[in-house]
Amino acid sequence: MNGSNPSLVSAIRGPVMLITLGVLLAMDHNGTISFGRTWPVLLIMFGVFKLAERAGAKSA
């Protein structure tokens, strides 16, 4: 990755993670499924983003 022209993937990582967090918490609060069970989704998302970044950096 080069710092001068960061990829779109790493730029949207933060907001997408934030949205995911919000959705999980909202689901927790309206009783659909507890955050205590769904939190690993955040780890998975983070991992997926890291992979996508690597792939993007290689192809660039």
Partner 1 sequence: MKRTSIVAPLLLIGIGALFLARNLYPELPLIDYLAKYWPYILIIWGVLRLAEILIWAAVSKPLPARGMSGGEWVLVFFLCLFGATLHTVRGFSTWWPRSGITMGGLDMFGESFEYPLSGEKACSKTPRVVIESFRGNARITGGDTDSVKVTGRKTIRSLDQSGADRANQDSPFELAGDANQLVVRTNQDHVSGNTRASAELEIAVPRGATIEAHGRRGDFDITDIAGNIEISSDNAGVRLQNIGGDVRIDLRRSDIVRAISVKGELELKGRGSDVELQGVEGPVTITGTYNGVLQFRNLSKPLRFHGQQTELNIEKLPGQVRMALGDLTASNLVGPVHLSTRSRDVQLSDFTNSLEVSLERGDIELRPGKLPLAKMDVHTRSGDIELSLPPGAKFDLTASTGRGDVTNDFGPPLKVETDHRGTTLRGSTGGGPTVNLQTERGQLIVRKASPEDKPLTPRGEAPKPPEPPVPQKPLKKVEQ
Phi and psi based region of residue 33 (left: phi greater than 0; alpha: psi -120 to 50; beta: remaining): beta
Of 37 and 51, which has the nearer Cβ to partner 1? 37
* 40 scored as a contact of partner 1 (CB under 8 A): no
Distance of closest approach, residue 4 Cβ to partner 1, in angstroms: 9
* 55 scored as a contact of partner 1 (CB under 8 A): no
Residues engaged in binding partner 1 (CB under 8 A): 3, 5-8, 10-26, 28-31, 33-37
